[in-house]
Amino acid sequence: MAAVILQRYRERRLLRRNRIFRDRTHPFDVFDDDVIFAKFRFRRQEILAITDDISVDILLSKRMGSLTPLLQVLITLRYFASGSFQDVCGELIGVDQSTVSRTVTRVTDVLLRQ
Protein backbone atom coordinates (compact mmCIF):
# COMPACT_ATOMS: atom_id res chain seq x y z
CA MET A 1 0.00 0.00 0.00
CA ALA A 2 2.74 2.44 0.94
CA ALA A 3 4.60 1.60 -2.27
CA VAL A 4 1.54 2.52 -4.35
CA ILE A 5 1.14 5.85 -2.57
CA LEU A 6 4.83 6.61 -3.02
CA GLN A 7 4.63 5.72 -6.72
CA ARG A 8 1.61 8.05 -7.22
CA TYR A 9 3.45 10.87 -5.44
CA ARG A 10 6.45 10.44 -7.74
CA GLU A 11 4.23 10.42 -10.83
CA ARG A 12 2.45 13.61 -9.75
CA ARG A 13 5.76 15.30 -9.06
CA LEU A 14 6.89 14.52 -12.59
CA LEU A 15 3.65 15.95 -13.99
CA ARG A 16 4.08 19.37 -12.38
CA ARG A 17 4.12 22.22 -14.81
CA ASN A 18 7.10 24.48 -14.92
CA ARG A 19 6.56 28.10 -14.01
CA ILE A 20 6.01 30.32 -16.99
CA PHE A 21 7.39 33.82 -16.86
CA ARG A 22 5.54 36.15 -19.17
CA ASP A 23 7.43 38.66 -21.18
CA ARG A 24 5.99 41.96 -19.99
CA THR A 25 6.08 44.95 -22.25
CA HIS A 26 7.36 48.02 -20.50
CA PRO A 27 5.38 51.11 -21.58
CA PHE A 28 8.36 53.41 -21.07
CA ASP A 29 10.30 51.42 -23.66
CA VAL A 30 7.46 51.11 -26.16
CA PHE A 31 5.59 54.43 -26.10
CA ASP A 32 6.70 57.99 -26.70
CA ASP A 33 5.82 60.87 -24.36
CA ASP A 34 2.53 61.76 -26.06
CA VAL A 35 1.20 58.20 -25.92
CA ILE A 36 2.28 57.83 -22.29
CA PHE A 37 0.35 60.98 -21.40
CA ALA A 38 -2.71 59.76 -23.35
CA LYS A 39 -2.72 56.34 -21.65
CA PHE A 40 -1.73 57.29 -18.10
CA ARG A 41 -2.74 61.00 -17.83
CA PHE A 42 0.68 61.88 -16.37
CA ARG A 43 3.95 62.84 -18.00
CA ARG A 44 6.96 60.54 -17.87
CA GLN A 45 8.80 62.66 -15.27
CA GLU A 46 5.70 62.89 -13.06
CA ILE A 47 5.29 59.11 -13.12
CA LEU A 48 8.93 58.66 -12.16
CA ALA A 49 8.51 61.18 -9.30
CA ILE A 50 5.46 59.34 -7.97
CA THR A 51 7.34 56.05 -8.17
CA ASP A 52 10.33 57.50 -6.32
CA ASP A 53 8.08 58.78 -3.54
CA ILE A 54 6.33 55.47 -2.87
CA SER A 55 8.70 52.79 -4.18
CA VAL A 56 9.89 51.75 -0.72
CA ASP A 57 6.32 51.11 0.44
CA ILE A 58 5.21 49.09 -2.60
CA LEU A 59 8.35 47.04 -3.25
CA LEU A 60 7.22 43.43 -3.06
CA SER A 61 10.33 41.35 -3.43
CA LYS A 62 13.36 40.91 -5.60
CA ARG A 63 12.34 37.51 -6.88
CA MET A 64 12.22 36.90 -10.58
CA GLY A 65 8.89 37.74 -12.15
CA SER A 66 7.67 40.18 -9.52
CA LEU A 67 6.40 43.58 -10.54
CA THR A 68 8.75 46.51 -10.17
CA PRO A 69 7.44 49.60 -8.34
CA LEU A 70 7.33 51.48 -11.67
CA LEU A 71 5.11 48.83 -13.27
CA GLN A 72 2.85 48.84 -10.21
CA VAL A 73 2.41 52.61 -10.48
CA LEU A 74 1.78 52.35 -14.23
CA ILE A 75 -0.87 49.66 -13.73
CA THR A 76 -2.62 51.81 -11.12
CA LEU A 77 -2.47 54.99 -13.19
CA ARG A 78 -3.76 53.14 -16.26
CA TYR A 79 -6.68 51.80 -14.24
CA PHE A 80 -7.53 55.29 -12.93
CA ALA A 81 -7.05 56.96 -16.32
CA SER A 82 -9.08 54.53 -18.38
CA GLY A 83 -11.95 53.75 -16.04
CA SER A 84 -11.98 50.38 -17.73
CA PHE A 85 -12.08 46.84 -16.45
CA GLN A 86 -9.04 45.50 -14.63
CA ASP A 87 -8.35 42.77 -17.16
CA VAL A 88 -8.25 45.34 -19.97
CA CYS A 89 -5.76 47.46 -18.00
CA GLY A 90 -3.62 44.42 -17.30
CA GLU A 91 -3.39 43.44 -20.95
CA LEU A 92 -1.33 46.55 -21.70
CA ILE A 93 1.48 45.34 -19.44
CA GLY A 94 0.81 41.61 -19.60
CA VAL A 95 -0.56 40.81 -16.15
CA ASP A 96 -3.67 39.01 -15.02
CA GLN A 97 -6.79 40.70 -13.61
CA SER A 98 -6.09 39.44 -10.10
CA THR A 99 -2.62 41.00 -10.20
CA VAL A 100 -4.14 44.31 -11.31
CA SER A 101 -6.62 44.16 -8.44
CA ARG A 102 -3.95 43.53 -5.79
CA THR A 103 -1.64 46.14 -7.31
CA VAL A 104 -4.27 48.88 -7.54
CA THR A 105 -5.31 48.24 -3.95
CA ARG A 106 -1.72 48.30 -2.67
CA VAL A 107 -0.65 51.43 -4.56
CA THR A 108 -3.86 53.30 -3.78
CA ASP A 109 -3.46 52.60 -0.07
CA VAL A 110 0.10 53.92 -0.15
CA LEU A 111 -0.90 57.01 -2.11
CA LEU A 112 -3.68 57.80 0.34
CA ARG A 113 -1.26 57.57 3.25
CA GLN A 114 1.12 60.09 1.62
CB 54 within 8 A of CB 110: yes
| 43 in a structural domain | yes
Range of the domain at 98: 22-113
| 6 in a structural domain | no
Q: For 62-94, what is each residue's pLDDT tens digit? A: 666 688 999 999 999 999 999 889 989 898 888
| 98 in a structural domain | yes
Q: For 47-60, what is each residue's pLDDT tens digit? A: 999 999 999 999 87
**Range with lowest mean pLDDT among 12-21, 22-31, 39-48, 100-109:** 12-21
Instruction: Kindly indicate the confidence band of residue 19, based on its pLDDT and cuts at 50, 70 and 90.
Output: low
Alpha helix locations (H) across 1-114?
2-15, 27-30, 33-40, 44-58, 69-82, 86-93, 97-113
CB 105 within 8 A of CB 75: no
Neighbouring C-beta atoms of residue 33, cutoff 10 Å: 11
| 3 in a structural domain | no
Count of structural domains within the chain: 1
CB 55 within 8 A of CB 69: yes
pLDDT over 90 at 103, yes or no: yes
| 59 in a structural domain | yes
Q: For 22-36, what is each residue's pLDDT tens digit? A: 667 789 988 999 999
